[in-house]
Amino acid sequence: MYQNKKLYIKPDMKMSDLIFENPGLLLMLEHFGLDYTVQAKTVAQLCSEYKISQEVFLTISNLYNGYVLPYEANYTINDISTIIEYLRNCHNFYKNDKYPEIKVFISQLYANNNLNEIKLIEKFFNDYFEEVKEHLDYEELIAFPYFCELVDLENDKSLIGNSRFSVNNYTEHHSDIECKLADLKNLLIKHISMKGELVLRRKLLYSLFELEFDLKIHSMIEEMILIPLVEKIENSKTNG
């Protein structure tokens, strides 16, 4: 449902038309902290009104529409704060929205069927999400504060040189936290059979697909934008 390619988004396109074509963009707007009532504004007008980098907005919105941009966009150090705020909003969505929703669906399935396989699924998902939360906590408590400090200390190379943390530490810790969800979907679609519960199972699977897709974009934003941008800034400070 989300993987189908949509329009390639450009600055002069109306945001409302894009939302009608791909409602998944509503979640992207939410991550940016933007109101859904976009009126007749174009992408460029929306970015200008909310003071969001057009390059960043276009990259992320096109990821939601199924495109990985083939060129190196002109990101700047000023984009780091926007990207981090976006990623933090993603974290809130995962921890306070999707995880509780999926947990409720799984609990309801178990209550209605009392199958050991569903109990194992519940344990698998809970263990998996503990790993996700550990990853998100690392970003929020260690990586993101450093990246923000890097912006603040842009003109003081000596302080950055003395830092014990760098983007290399972040890269080594970085992982594709969405991958294990494929195993869970496979279990539900291919291996675990139960009578009825079609509505509940559909809701659970849709929620898993949405979480997996958004986590994938989350990782791509870090890999395509944040890490290369921070590396570029670190290198410029080290090399003068």
Annotate 116-140 with DSSP letters as a single string: HHHHHHHHHHHHHHHHHHHHHHHII
- Sign of the alpha-carbon dihedral angle for 216, 87, 5, 99: positive
Annotate 185-201 with DSSP letters as a single string: HHIIIII---SS-HHHH
Q: What is the pLDDT of residue 234?
A: 80
Place 37 in a pLDDT band, splitting at 50, 70 and 90: very high
**Per-residue model confidence as pLDDT tens digits over 152-201:** 765 444 444 445 667 777 776 666 677 788 888 988 888 887 777 889 99
Mean pLDDT, rounded, of the chain: 86
Indicate the pTM of the whole model.
0.88
**Per-residue model confidence as pLDDT tens digits over 53-98:** 999 999 999 999 999 865 567 888 889 999 999 999 999 999 999 9
Percentage of residues of the chain with pLDDT beyond 70: 87
Place 228 in a pLDDT band, splitting at 50, 70 and 90: confident
